[in-house]
Amino acid sequence: MTKYCDYLKEVGVNGDLFEVLCACKNSVKEISALVKLGKIGKAGTENVFGEEQLELDVESDEIIQKYMKECEQVGLIASEELPDEIKVGDGEYGVCYDPLDGSSLVDVNLAVGTIFGVYKTGSFVGVKGSEQVASVIAVYGPRTTLLLTTGNGVKEFILNAENKFEMNDKEITVGEGKMFAPGNLRASAKRKDYMDLVHYWCDNQYTLRYSGGMVPDVNQILLKGKGIFSYPGYEDAPNGKLRLLFECAPMAFLMEQAGGAASDGRMRILEKEVVSLDQRTPIYLGSKGEVRRCEEYLEK
């Protein structure tokens, strides 16, 4: 059995980045236990973006903060739940994260996830996703699983009975195939181009697989090796809902490393500069041919 740390050493990730990625992994283990047994009520607070927080959102954020502050190699953090980036030390790595993405699904017991993007930077403003040195997502479903890239492809790890992340030998590559996860379908009421695209998928007998959590929805495309996840904008919210820094860029890095693509409809997600931490972007990611189809249908 290859464990997470063994794999990192095997692919030559030693020293500082090794410590940062261990901090990510250790936070995930603790959040996994919290999601399974912690309180699921509202925290009674809002994050800076005016979104209602659950106790689990706040506590997951605190867990990650704790591990990142303990890790000497991390100098900077930014969280979807915090108003600004925080300097936490002198380490050269910056870790941005969404501690519990999709947490509105917790009360109905659907899967949720954590997303990390790792950079070597002193500020996240001005970075591009292509500068990430690693990205990690964790899915808290019936099992807790973790996907990791350090720029050498993608590997999956599954939390086992000894509370260790064990590598899955399955090769993670995304080719072509008929599966779709159409986010923000509401937009199709005002966008004929999106409605036309949805009709294309239905007319061509694509399989619908959409849970409403970006992490499990994109994770399944990576694991099944095919499909498309879409989240366009529309008139009232031209850039949609999903955040470039915390959600889209780490997902795009994983998708490209698996042989898929990620676009905002015009350009690669990884080429977009982060102008503000809260910046949103439309996103289409999955099989290369499907991403191209989204660009063609939605170019207007």
Residue of 59, 61, 81, 101 interacting with ligand AHM (CB under 6 A): 101
C-beta of 99: minimal distance to Mg ion in Å?
Answer: 9
Phi, psi of 28 (to 5 degrees): -60, -40
CA angle, 252 then 257 then 261, to 5°: 50
Span interacting with ligand AHM, options 2-10, 99-107, 165-173, 276-284, rule CB under 6 A: 99-107
Contact flag: residue 114 with ligand AHM (CB under 6 A):
no
Q: What's the CA gap between 197 and 181, in Å, rounded?
A: 12
Contact flag: residue 79 with ligand AHM (CB under 6 A):
no
Q: Which residue is nearest to ligand AHM (CB)?
A: 214
Contact flag: residue 240 with ligand AHM (CB under 6 A):
no
In the complex with ligand AHM, the residue whose CB is nearer, 71 or 251, is 251
C-beta of 197: minimal distance to ligand AHM in Å?
Answer: 16
Q: What's the CA gap between 184 and 167, in Å, rounded?
A: 33
Contact flag: residue 213 with ligand AHM (CB under 6 A):
yes
C-beta of 283: minimal distance to ligand AHM in Å?
Answer: 9
Contact flag: residue 103 with ligand AHM (CB under 6 A):
yes
Query: What string marks each residue from 78 to 107 as x (binds Mg ion by CB under 5 A) or -?
Result: --------------------x--x------
Span interacting with ligand AHM, options 9-17, 23-31, 206-214, 284-292, rule CB under 6 A: 206-214
C-beta of 126: minimal distance to Mg ion in Å?
Answer: 22
Contact flag: residue 241 with ligand AHM (CB under 6 A):
yes
C-beta of 60: minimal distance to ligand AHM in Å?
Answer: 11
Q: Following DSSP, what letter does each residue of 17-47 receive, concatenated?
A: HHHHHHHHHHHHHHHHHHHHHS--SEEEEE-
Q: How many CB atoms lie within 10 A of CB 16?
A: 16
Instruction: Render the burial of 84-104: b for 16+ CB within 10 Å, e for the rest.
Output: ebeebbebbbbbbbbbbbbbe
Contact flag: residue 184 with ligand AHM (CB under 6 A):
yes
Contact flag: residue 98 with ligand AHM (CB under 6 A):
yes
C-beta of 179: minimal distance to ligand AHM in Å?
Answer: 16
What, of ligand AHM, Mg ion, none, does residue 103 touch, CB below 5 to 8 Å by kind?
ligand AHM
Compute CA 181 distance to the chain's CA centroid, rounded to the nearest angstrom. 15
In the complex with Mg ion, the residue whose CB is nearer, 26 or 47, is 47
Task: Write the DSSP symbol of residue 139.
Answer: E
Please answer whether residues 116 and 97 qualify as being in contact, where contact means their C-beta atoms are separated by less than 8 angstroms. yes
Helix (H) or strand (E) holding 7: helix 4-10
**Which residue has 């966008």 as its token pair?**
191
Residues found near ligand AHM in the complex (CB under 6 A):
51, 80, 98, 101-103, 183-184, 212-214, 241
Residues found near Mg ion in the complex (CB under 5 A):
98, 101
